[in-house]
A and B are shown apart, each in its own frame.
Chain A
Amino acid sequence: MESDILIVDDSAAIRKILNRVLRQTGMAIGAIHEAGDGEEALAQLKAHSVRMVLTDINMPKMDGLQLLAAIKDVPSWSSIAVVMITTEGGETKVSEAVRLGAAGYVRKPFTADQIKEKLVGILEPVRAI
């Protein structure tokens, strides 16, 4: 079964790179949706059936941690895996993301292999639910 993925980053450059990297992984990925901040992401989640969200932390309007909390607050979205992809490597932000229920964490800069390795481990159990 193909999984829809939502990429959330205020950087159009990172959205493009992640889109390309995801297509190169060879994983069974359905549609890839994009949002420029947390508020746009929530609108995308209402419009599409998304299995995984890849989100930056440091964004205007609604940041990645606020988005993560908002997703985990909606019972019908509880099985969505949220992976943080960010330059924010500080322990405080990582601990907060884990506490809020993040499924994983990838630090920028990243390689295609690092993304694939992280997503394969997370997407498979999600699909099995």
Chain B
Amino acid sequence: MSLRDFILESINQCTTQVFSTMLGVELNPGQVIEKDGSGDVQCEVVSLIGIAGALAGAGSVSCSANMACKICALMLMTEAENVNEDVLDAVAELTNMIVGNVKTELESRVGPLGLGIPTVVYGRNFQTKTSGDPGWIITRFHLDGEALTIKICLAPNHRDGNTAVEKGTPEAVLV
């Protein structure tokens, strides 16, 4: 299995497991998005977390404000009409658990990886940009008509003499 397919499978497995265990919701498998088209779904909350090791990059969870409030209600059993501190905490922790578990799965293929601390952004009419424009692996899930998008981008990390990336991993690993 290619590393890209492995990550896609991990995203599906970890996301459905986190939703089932922590939110009590059974999600259908996510839909792979080949091209990251901004504006195709409403996205007001974005949570980002860094990954570093033989591969380096980031993972993100993005969704509408409504979806973020729904996640908060299911996870913390605290209703929120607007995006508040509880909602941002819930989305941050969701990101930590999903991307953290994908990272753990990945360690069986590429060796130890470190995980950063999530940062959540809430607003309207903003764009995110990743330096170097690496390819993102994107999977979209749906809950009650609202979308939740999980994205991972990783590339070989040549800093600090890292050489542990599995053999045959091309430069643009995951595109």
Contacts and interface: CB of A to CB of B under 8 A. Distances in A.
Given A58-B115, A109-B21, A111-B21, A14 B93 contact: yes
A55 to B, nearest CB: 15
B93 A89 contact: no
Interface in B92-114: 92-93, 96-97, 100-101, 103-104, 107, 112-113
Given A87-B97, A90-B112, A108-B97, A10 B117 contact: yes
Interface residues of A, number: 21
B89 interface: yes
Nearest to B115: A58
A13 interface: yes
A14 B75 CA distance: 9
Interface range on chain B (Cβ under 8 Å from partner): 20 to 34
B22 interface: yes
A11 B93 contact: yes
Interface of B: 17-18, 21-22, 75-78, 85-86, 89-90, 92-93, 96-97, 100-101, 103-104, 107, 112-113, 115, 117
Interface of A: 10-14, 16-17, 20, 58-60, 86-90, 92, 108-111
